[in-house]
Structure 1
């Protein structure tokens, strides 16, 4: 399991995990950086708008999470953040791009999150997030689809991962895991 949350978001685990399940902590938010301060004001790191800047300015957290997946013991690997949309969405986009998924498949995968989280947000009395993010991006003259498409188009694989420290051996292991 790869936990993408920041240390202050984690709660103590009350139930023991079954033997053989390890957790790797790979926080994605570059807290304390000018990037984090800027994007917290722009979109609270809660839309795909920040993805391209994150990949350029702070690729290390993303590559750390990718490395954890590549180096995981055989079997399933789960990765998550607090809601499974933003940090998880960026990591999924990177992995799906590497795996050769088409942009429309990656976008559809990202949009599924809104459907799956709707009931939870409704129960919490939180505004519909798809509407909120759509309006936020529209105010910046873009859409979720356009933002994701732009990020996917700019992401050259596997050069992005190799150029940011992933080894050839880790890339091979990742390819094997993603194409099984």
Structure 2
């Protein structure tokens, strides 16, 4: 039987931003400080009240990890004082990598993380550098559903902040209960149930698969191998933890 995610001791991390359905602060995991980084589903759905809540939470930069063809119109005007940086995490032009995944149930699960991380270190490095270089204040990073591209970035940040593999896996698993409403708003209501059934048929779970990845992954070593300067890694860790570099 697949390992089940333990109860989340940081339920307060869930944030209510009107228009989004899968938002939480990484604070409290490892040495991660509140307000430094927030993971989310697509913020273009935020209402004016949702943007006000994000701004009140301290967000001053939004990092959009989506591809160009996923961009849509904002539901409400983004407030002054919040800068948006668009930096697609995926290289969709690399069809040789992506085509085998199109019909594989493992896409949209942590089972594709290790192949992705091994194939696209330059993409992850660019994301890390953008996060480290963001203007002062909190950073909200998002993809479409706030689960997998967002989950990869969360894995990196939480590893740098000293979160345990169990904490990282439990955080990832929290997204699953929110996927049905998220995918319903995207017109893909059946997708969450189909993926849950695939996990069951393979006797595994989101928590179990993310735990394997988190036990393997070392964020600092990965970024160093990807050519990210040590000063940038230190700055990103300092930003996540609220502690001076070094």
TM-score interval, smaller chain? 0.7 to 0.9
CA contact (8 A) 2:145 2:183 kept: no
Matched, 1:127 2:184: no
The Cα of 1:121 is off from its aligned counterpart by 3.7
Distance 1:91 1:177, change over 3 A: same
Q: How many residues align?
A: 179
Counting only pairs closer than 5 Å after superposition, residues 1-180 of structure 1 correspond to structure 2 as: 1-13=62-74, 15-33=76-94, 34-43=96-105, 45-121=107-183, 124=187, 126-127=189-190, 129=192, 131-140=193-202, 142-180=204-242
Gaps of 5+ in 2: 1-61
1:84-114 Cα distance to aligned partner (Å, 9 max, x none): 0111111111211121111121111111112
Distance 1:178 1:84, change over 3 A: same
| Bigger proportion of residues as strand | 2
Deviates more, 1:111-120 or 1:147-156: 111-120
The Cα of 1:32 is off from its aligned counterpart by 2.7
| Bigger proportion of residues as helix | 1
CA contact (8 A) 2:63 2:86 kept: yes
Q: Post-superposition, which runs of at least 4 consecutive aligned residues in structure 1 deviate over 6 A?
A: none
Cα separation, 2, equivalents of 1:154 and 1:43: 22
